[in-house]
Structure 1
Amino acid sequence: MQDLMTTMIRRLSLCMVAVAVIAMALVGCAAAVEDTSNANVIHATGTGNIIGTPDRAQITFSVQTENADVKIAQSENALKMNNVINALVTSGIPRDALKTTGYNIYPVYEESKSILEQKVKTYRVTNTLTVTLHDVSKTGDVIDVAVANGINQADSIQFMLSDEQSQVLRTQALQKAVTRAKADADTVAAAMGVNITGVKNADISGGYSPVLYQNYQYDTGAAMKAAAVPTPIQPGDVTVTASVTITYTIR
């Protein structure tokens, strides 16, 4: 019985050794295949930039009111913001282009040496409105109408591209990127004395950042005095960037 057990243990040990040898051989084969697949390639990266003109604008501004009675501050704020919205709609801005993007009520405390002795002086109510324009040339007019009807805090102007325009410019940027990547690959292949036979894979990245004017300065008092002079706003340009990394096969 003991001899039988010893024989079985020996056979099991031999089987385990055989399995380990086979596994190591398979790993070696896989590594060899991977090395072979990566040996005859050239990696090239190209970047393309296209400058475009924004065809969308978002203007964000606020009505801010303050009163010792929070209900009065709220009522005054609501009245002014309703006046602003009605005036913008009357001027031709679609109502669905107007969106409330913030509403805050917070206390303003009297000056005090001790935090424990602080008393509420007034309540400040801020209602923030964002207007989206499909015609960027109306940006200055919208600001003037809003200020004339109650807006007293300017937040930001953001110029950007519509989805359609963004896709057109991105296509052009990608074409540039691919052309540059191919030119680099051809140069390297010629220097190595090899020929490019095809493309193994390609990775795409890139995008664009809207033009943003944060906390733009707007003198409401001066605007009211010079209401006949429209506010000049220049949208500037946006740059659409696309990058590609292409793996070319060579021989």
Structure 2
Amino acid sequence: MPHSPRRPVRIALAVAAAGVVAASAAACDARSGPTASPGTDARQVTVVGEGQVKGTPDTLTVNASMEFQAADATGAMSQTNDRQQAVIDALVGAGIDRKDIATTAADLQPQYGSDSTTISAYRATNSITVTIRDLAKASDAIGLIVSTGGNASRINSINYSIDDDSQLVRDARARAFNDAKDRANQYAQLSGLDLGDVISISESASPTPPVPMPAMPRAMEAAVPLEPGQQTVGFSVTVVWQLS
């Protein structure tokens, strides 16, 4: 079989072992095939496999702020802190573990009048992130934040996630490798060669983004309808095999 040209070839997802000339492979249309290492008689094939599995989120994270505006900085900050403390106490009283409540921001900003030079008031904001591990309590917890905070409430974001995705990761990794092996076997057959030992494996985990929900209105009295949907855990693996 003729040797491949000696030009270096770059791979977007992973770098093959030293001395290997590898063709890049896209996730859905792997274009890699049998290649020869410069200066040797070895034949190799480099392929990229993809694996994805879906799981149902079991955790909800809420970022909520309390915001007040007052003529003086002390008044604005005091009202904001008092209201946020009331929210925290209410959540703890409802069964949310205190360790799952974290302050993420405390902000105080002057507000200027129409002339843009004179301070007319101060706006204070205090933000917390609440991790809700029992989704059955999620709607009530969000309602509690708003009912306790009143018109000072700001629901900035709501995100679903999977607390322990280790099994999903293992399943996605196995699917990615099996996909790569199927592709490599096909290239070997098309080349009239046999698939040999694995030379190298490089993996790239696809990020699992949280499932966002739009920001809520400043005040709500009705229960909040929530649906967790599903999240995807994915892996991409680049594998180099010998061909014989």
Q: TM-score range by the shorter chain?
A: 0.7 to 0.9
Match of 2:73 among 46, 70, 73: 70
Mapped partners of 1:34, 1:249: distance in 2 = 11
Mapped partners of 2:136, 2:69: distance in 1 = 33
Mapped partners of 2:90, 2:41: distance in 1 = 65
Per the normalisation by structure 2, the TM-score is: 0.80
**Partner SS, residue 165 of structure 2:** helix
Deviation at 1:208, TM superposition (A): 2.9
Mapped partners of 2:37, 2:45: distance in 1 = 15
Q: Which residue of 1 aligns with 2:118?
A: 119
**Partner SS, residue 230 of structure 1:** coil
Q: Does the 8 Å CA contact 2:154/2:218 hold for their aligned counterparts?
A: no
Q: Which residue of 2 aligns with 1:97?
A: 100
Gaps of 5+ in 2: 1-17, 20-35
Q: Which residue of 2 aligns with 1:14?
A: none
Q: Which residue of 2 aligns with 1:81?
A: 84
* In the alignment, structure 1 residue 137 sits paired with structure 2 residue 131: no
Identity %: 28
Per the normalisation by structure 1, the TM-score is: 0.78
Bigger Rg, structure 1 or 2: 1
Mapped partners of 1:203, 1:36: distance in 2 = 24
The runs of at least 4 aligned residues of structure 1 exceeding 4 Å deviation read none
Match of 1:47 among 41, 45, 50: 50
**Partner SS, residue 45 of structure 2:** strand
**Partner SS, residue 233 of structure 1:** coil
Deviation at 1:38, TM superposition (A): 7.7
Q: Which residue of 2 aligns with 1:154?
A: 155
Q: Which residue of 2 aligns with 1:183?
A: 182
Q: Does the 8 Å CA contact 2:66/2:125 hold for their aligned counterparts?
A: yes
Q: Does the 8 Å CA contact 2:108/2:124 hold for their aligned counterparts?
A: yes
Q: Does the 8 Å CA contact 1:156/1:212 hold for their aligned counterparts?
A: no
Mapped partners of 1:111, 1:191: distance in 2 = 75
Mapped partners of 1:149, 1:206: distance in 2 = 41
Deviates more, 1:232-241 or 1:36-45: 36-45
Deviations 1:81-123 (A, max 9, x none): 11101100110001111100001000111112xx5xx211110
Q: Which residue of 2 aligns with 1:218?
A: 217
Deviations 1:164-195 (A, max 9, x none): x3111011111111111111111111111100
Deviations 1:29-60 (A, max 9, x none): x98x9625584111111101111111222100
Higher helix share: 1
Task: Read off the aligned partner of 2:241 and give its amino acid letter.
Answer: Y
Deviation at 1:197, TM superposition (A): 1.6
Change (3 A) 1:143 1:47: same
Gaps of 5+ in 1: 1-29
- Pairwise CA RMSD: 2.1
Q: Does the 8 Å CA contact 2:42/2:243 hold for their aligned counterparts?
A: no
Q: Which residue of 2 aligns with 1:7?
A: none
Task: Read off the aligned partner of 1:40 and give its amino acid letter.
Answer: R
Q: Which residue of 2 aligns with 1:194?
A: 193
Mapped partners of 2:136, 2:169: distance in 1 = 24
Q: Does the 8 Å CA contact 1:48/1:175 hold for their aligned counterparts?
A: yes
Aligned length: 209
